[in-house]
Amino acid sequence: MSIFDGFKFRSESSPIHEMDPRAKFIYVCILFSSAIIFNNIIPLLILFLIQMPLVFLAKVQREWLRSMRASALFAALIFAMNFISLYFYAGHETLCSITERSAAMTIRFLVLIQTFSIFFLTTSPDMLGLALEQSGIPYEICFAFTTAVRFVPVLAEEAQTIIDAQRARGLELESGNIIRRIRNYIPILIPLIVNAIRRSMELAETMESRAWGAVKNRTNLYTLRIKGRDILLIVSSFVILALSVYTSIYIQIPSITQMILS
């Protein structure tokens, strides 16, 4: 479950943590769009590397590295699936070209993981819900979203605890064929679902005891305001998007194979 550690908020004193969640969300959307635009390995590597200063400024290198390690299996799977599909359905391409295109798709996946990891590691669920509420989204939707964000890492840790407990009792999750392995996970899923239902009932009772929804016009302790560093991040994000669109339309980016052969 270490992949979820890269998406769990870490409270640190850093310039990235202090930024407005709306500015960081715009940054995430723009980096996501820029990564989708390119199919070439070079600009995708650039998008990956330009985010590294944010990781160090936010002081979340360890959690970020953990999320990258946990994503390695999925990245390898993406590379293998792209390589196999291109090998059989793109017969006119060379093996080097197929490998490079598969690597580009893998790096795109890592860029997306990196972008969302930075966002969730540095954005408190409370501030994220407040940002959504101040953006005009109904509070019920904001509350449901922030609750889901909070409970995903909690359920992941709980699942890991159940797995460790069942393994201590002699449960072997990796033995047998695929059907046997699926059945081995039943002792994991049943207590996890029961605990999730119990947790939801406790949350509902807590909300009812605090008269949740009784007042339509809610007030908040904090008010988010766009500051200079937030404007700088938004402007930088749009500059990246403009450069990405311009590069994809007007600039012919050479492939790694072409650069080596030339």
Q: From first to last of the 262 residues of the chain, give the pLDDT tens digit.
A: 455 666 778 888 899 999 999 999 999 999 999 999 998 899 999 999 999 999 999 998 888 888 888 888 889 999 999 888 888 876 667 788 888 889 999 999 999 999 999 998 999 888 888 888 888 888 888 888 888 877 877 887 888 888 888 888 887 777 777 777 778 888 888 888 998 889 889 988 988 888 877 777 777 777 888 899 999 999 999 999 999 999 999 888 877 767 776 6
- 3-class SS of residue 46: helix
Phi, psi of 152 (to 5 degrees): -60, -50
The one-letter amino acid code at 113 reads I
Q: How far apart are CA 262 and CA 251, in angstroms?
A: 18
- Does the predicted model carry a pTM greater than 0.85? no
Which residue in this structure is represented by tokens 């940002």?
Answer: 131
Largest Cα–Cα distance of the chain, in whole Å? 71
- Closest-CA residue to 2 (of 147, 119, 122, 156): 156
Q: How far apart are CA 88 and CA 91, in angstroms?
A: 6
